[in-house]
Chains A and B, each alone.
Chain A
């Protein structure tokens, strides 16, 4: 299930920005044009990367999208339906499918030069963190990472120190390269837009690294980064068996994604890719339920922008209760199954 509430939110905002597009360009006196780099896999757009188009629209000026990979054209057709986007540039070449930075960054350099873009935006995802800084170095630009708000064409807001401080910075670079925090910009919704789809430049640069394999955790549950509800387990779950037995039914009853603290991941209760925090995923769902998680600052960095935070912990002094909108002090092994049953019964 996609986060429909957030998508609905995206619409009016996008519409507003699009209608004031020409005004914004006129005021600045300089032509702004932004390239949003979209992630795809097997021709399917990564829903989270559509946030890059929302962020691009906020800048004002022309918005183009960029997609490369083995079935880039298929993904391009989806992205072309996003209102306010003028053009989607595609490069259909299997060499770019896995987003290897060694050939993807030079590919971007060629297309950015050709389009004379003033801004380049991609998600602060594993892909964005891998490719964008390499691109920035090739363009001699000081990238701005994990942007949560765009004040104007050169002023950006980003969290530092695990979100314990918020920095506003002004860039003097000719080409501004941003990675954006997905949860801070609602994903753009492919709707009735009609962007033109054009073939990009393909320098066919060879890669000095090769992709060998991947092992992705398979799950029918919502994607952690974009889910509207997240239930997260910590060290209090005691074992992988207990984690699965207690947390998964609750997640399913709520239709939530499953997350975990670093302690739970390090102890092998949950997969690494489920870690929420400064060094894992940053989430901002409608509901974040922390179970058996004390609330270290590194964990809070990944979830404190959630709309509602609920905590279940047996330690009444756990720091998580300082941020939780609702807290229940008690044994999770009794309370969570009871909660699961009552949520199910309420449906």
Chain B
């Protein structure tokens, strides 16, 4: 079995616990001064890559775990977190603050990175919690012509580069099998990401972090979608409380729900 060279794309997003606010000009969500963290699904990707190595799950072993992120300078914090969790090195694709990339551009960038880094397994989150697109993984697989296993809750390595993945689908789970090279996207049930320990955070500061630009990959930030406006969703007003079950039934009947 081939040794694994795992590429783990990670994204810096507004922390999941923060309630996002639309900016005054209704052009985007306010990001200045807001807590950011690694996209939760990407933490699962890093954790899985590290576990594959630690538990020696793949017969060929893990030769390299490379985290990659496109974003402003602060995206490096996210890459350091990935390295503190166990990634060997990082690649930062510098993009100006506020100059977000569309998933298709990210997929094209990752395609180039895969070719350059000779990756044979890419583990991505199933979606980022900011734009909720859920596109980059399958787009990358399509561009590379590789098989894909989306919304993975279990990844097992077999003989001769075969990988069996259990996927979360509507109504239950589905199991598919493919051969390396492969693109996998992670679902919540895949694992529980570790916290980076202080010594590992210190060690991560010494790990290699390359800086590149989209131009180095022969790409530019092409926008296919124009954001016309971003608005707050219509607010929902609580309708008050009732004293007991009879009150509940009465109110539901009044609202036509029973």
5 nearest A-B residue pairs (beta carbon): A137-B142, A142-B224, A216-B172, A325-B239, A134-B142
Name the one of A164, A304, A326 contacting B242, with C-beta atoms under 8 angstroms.
A326
- With contacts A213-B174, A272-B189, A346-B249 known, is A141 near B130, CB below 8 A? no
C-alpha gap A295/B59 in the complex (Å):
44
Interface: B25 (CB within 8 A): no
Interface: B217 (CB within 8 A): no
C-alpha gap A135/B153 in the complex (Å):
24
Interface: A321 (CB within 8 A): yes
> Is the Cβ of B227 less than 8 Å from the Cβ of A169?
yes
Find chain A residues with CB under 8 A from B151 CB.
126, 129-130
- Which chain A residues (154-189) contact chain B, with CB distance < 8 Å? 155, 159-173
- With contacts A143-B103, A172-B226, A278-B129 known, is A133 near B245, CB below 8 A? no
Name the one of A127, A129, A208, A324 contacting B147, with C-beta atoms under 8 angstroms.
A208
Name the one of B142, B189, B252 contacting A310, with C-beta atoms under 8 angstroms.
B252
> Is the Cβ of A217 less than 8 Å from the Cβ of B172?
yes
- With contacts A161-B14, A327-B242 known, is A212 near B176, CB below 8 A? yes
Which B residues lie at the A interface, using CB under 8 A?
14, 16, 19-20, 22, 29, 102-104, 107, 126-127, 129-143, 145-151, 153, 164, 167-179, 187-189, 224-233, 236, 238-249, 251-252, 255-258
C-alpha gap A324/B103 in the complex (Å):
35
Interface: A245 (CB within 8 A): no
Find chain B residues with CB under 8 A from A165 CB.
20, 22, 29, 230-233
> Is the Cβ of B176 less than 8 Å from the Cβ of A328?
no
> Is the Cβ of B247 less than 8 Å from the Cβ of A328?
yes
Closest to A142 in B: B224
- Most chain B CB atoms below 10 A, which of A127, A132, A160, A342: A160
What are 6 sample pairs from A and B whose C-beta atoms fall under 8 A apart? A141-B224, A165-B230, A165-B231, A272-B153, A272-B168, A339-B248
Name the one of A133, A172, A209, A327 contacting B178, with C-beta atoms under 8 angstroms.
A209
Name the one of A129, A133, A271, A342 contacting B246, with C-beta atoms under 8 angstroms.
A342
> Is the Cβ of A171 less than 8 Å from the Cβ of B225?
yes
Interface of B is mostly: mixed
C-alpha gap A101/B227 in the complex (Å):
29
Name the one of B102, B132, B232, B258 contacting A287, with C-beta atoms under 8 angstroms.
B258
Interface: A198 (CB within 8 A): no
Find chain B residues with CB under 8 A from A213 CB.
174-175
Interface: A107 (CB within 8 A): no
Find chain A residues with CB under 8 A from B171 CB.
216-217, 273
State the Cβ distance, B142 to closest chain A Cβ, in Å. Answer: 4
Closest to B233 in A: A166
C-alpha gap A225/B230 in the complex (Å):
27
Find chain B residues with CB under 8 A from A211 CB.
174-176
- With contacts A130-B148, A272-B173, A338-B245 known, is A167 near B227, CB below 8 A? yes
Name the one of A163, A298, A329, A330 contacting B16, with C-beta atoms under 8 angstroms.
A298
Name the one of A105, A125, A209, A279 contacting B177, with C-beta atoms under 8 angstroms.
A209
> Is the Cβ of B255 less than 8 Å from the Cβ of A325?
yes
Find chain B residues with CB under 8 A from A170 CB.
225-226, 228
> Is the Cβ of B255 less than 8 Å from the Cβ of A308?
yes
C-alpha gap A123/B23 in the complex (Å):
30
State the Cβ distance, B101 to closest chain A Cβ, in Å. Answer: 11
C-alpha gap A281/B170 in the complex (Å):
8
State the Cβ distance, B9 to closest chain A Cβ, in Å. Answer: 14
Find chain A residues with CB under 8 A from B231 CB.
165-166, 168
Closest to A223 in B: B171
C-alpha gap A335/B243 in the complex (Å):
11
